[in-house]
Structure 1
Amino acid sequence: MSFRKRGVVVPQAGASSGLLRAQPNSSSTITSPRPIQAPQGTRPSPLDGRLTTSTGTRSLDALLAGHSGLALGTSLLIEESGTTDFGGSLLKYYVSEGIVQKHTIHVLGMPEAWGRELPGLGSGDDGSKRKKKTADDEKMKIAWRYERLGEFGVGIGGARDRNISQSSSSTTAPSAVFCHDFDLSQRLILPSPSNMHFVPLSTQQDLNFKEPNPVKSPFAGFINHISSHLSNSSPATIHRIVVPNLLSTALYPSNASSPSHVLQFLHAIRALLRKHQSQLTVLMTLPITLYPRNSGLTRWIELLSDGVLELAPFPTSVIAAKPPGASNIHEEPPQGMLNVHRLPIFHEKGGGGGEASGFGDDLSFTLSRRKGIVIRPYSLPPVEGDTEAQEAGLKGDEGTKITKADIEF
């Protein structure tokens, strides 16, 4: 068995021996490649490493198939029944987050006044103190290793958010925030050279009140606008497409609901998402009161969307007021149910709805001024006057009443 000196590289055929001898300290001069810095407002998914961006709602980020955000190159359709506009609030949080992260926003069919109604950033000092106090009060005393578990209603996604923010600190700025807190009572101050583009419909009626051309698609100008901006922008620029109230009769002409127009528009959006899968995300809302889910057109719209969520608000008479002695966990009564029909990008390592993402099958949502839209598991409130069941729950197996000293350990 022959031995070879460590500092000498094995010679290869056709190479001169003078260039193959390594320096004694050559190992110390080898530098590791620099990590690629992710664009502002993005971070890698904890499942497969694809870049994700925030929707502006923390509980919605935790719900999206375990990716802790909306994956780039995907679209999300939000269906809503009734006359409420909770989906419009989700869109405004999505746009506000994009403006704060310096992303390019493209809004279809809405005037510029819609952009002046975006929620502003919440107060940082008060919010941080309140979060710290809540975290200290609700800290689990069972074992020290449970302190990093997600909060109630956040699930596994919340714990992944904290782990990803710590692990990705080398590739992102130390002060970078993935999802900001917004306040509905405040208004977001738009930057002077704003990156928001309000694109009118191609057949939008003017003051002459002429009938729109049924042959011309109302989405043609928007597709040309998006294509030109994506081709002329740098690869590091993130774009967000917002389509509020798709096919609503208050905004769109009657020929917009023709399958030859709306389905062609969705096919074009899907093609742009696949072509620019590291730059583009889409969020749309659809009033299913006008277009029910059992219709063929709505089914095709759902098939051409990567994720589909349905908001079912409660009637005003059903929303119960908060009782005087209620706990701080349920600060606001639920205002509706959230149905998850499909989530974008399932993965073999995990993700998806139900228990895999830390949520149950029954989900509710609440819209508040400071916290925005909060998605949490739905539970029925206790029945008033049922004192026997409440007393039975406070008794042990032998019928004795459980005291505070019995449950503390």
Structure 2
Amino acid sequence: MNGASPAAERGGVDDAGLLALDPDELADGLVVADEHGRVVVFNAAAVRITDIPRERALGRPLEDALPLEDLEGRRWWRCTDPYGGLATRSGQPERNLLLPGGREVLVTARYVRERPAGPVRRLVISVRDTEARRRSERSHAELIATVAHELRSPLTSVKGFTATLLAKWERFTEDQKKLMLETVDADANRVTRLIAELLDISRIDSGRLEVRRQPVDMPTAVGRHVQAQVAAGQRPERFFVRVAGPLPALWADPDKIDQVLSNLLENAVRHGAGTVTIEVTAARLKNRAEGTAVTVSDEGPGIPEESMARVFTRFWRGSKRGGTGLGLYIVKGLVEAHGGAITVGRAPGGGAEFRFTLPVAAPAYL
């Protein structure tokens, strides 16, 4: 078709040495031009991103098939001159370029040569939509704004109380000093927790979250967190723990399981109402492996149906009772790092119900 080999159109190996793959399976736009500067590959993602029909691109000179301009209105292929420019150049870094009509795309080009400083045999161009980058930038901006807001309050308190104590230490009674220092300590703990959340998000997003597996007694862990809630002032009768045994042996990271349980119980206490029920049962996972399931439910108003799809996203808040909106996002990342899964639904009592399942061990242990 218009000079493009059948193998190139199918995504197989052609006379230019293209890899045997189907370009239409790629998420990014892929455009390949041969040694004469004519387009031989224009995949489905390139069609979607550029809104240029494939039949109008294949076989045509690259400058006509993909008429890009920089942000100052200069014709991009004439400026870069990939076929006649410096023989030592290996490509063009990613940059924002414009298509006719003002459509903005991110473009990266790689020059393929048979030998160093030899002529260009193939030009491989990656085309991406800018919307994904904008979403990422908005997410980072939201994260920075949230962190700045959450840090301002405790740091202002710490600064205020310490400055007051330093300036007027002798004027306060021992009880007043103790109260102010306890407030400073509590606010410092808030800052520490926020920093820990940010580190968790960084590790989750970058895939660097490490899971150090040890034997974990899930009923004991649940009981410990219930006791912590009672020690913090909750009524013992507000919690009901049900363990349906026997349970399989569970290998997991105890610290991360504590994070998950602490977050789910705090959410149930803070945002729910009535009895908080925690059930621990054996589970059969999708791959037929054994696992452990933990369900935390309450009798409060629950989560609106239209919000359930957003519960585990960043900055989702179920109410206006404070918090960064990062806790459940981290919980999901911690559970999935163990090879498990977490879901949200409506409890029998009408409140929210969170259920997470963990395989008994990592694949290496099975």
TM-score bucket (shorter structure): under 0.3
Kindly indicate whether structure 1 or structure 2 has the higher relative contact order, using CA contacts under 8 Å at least 6 residues apart: 1
> What is the TM-score of this pair, normalised by structure 2?
0.20
Return the index of the structure with the highest Cα Rg: 2
> What is the TM-score of this pair, normalised by structure 1?
0.18
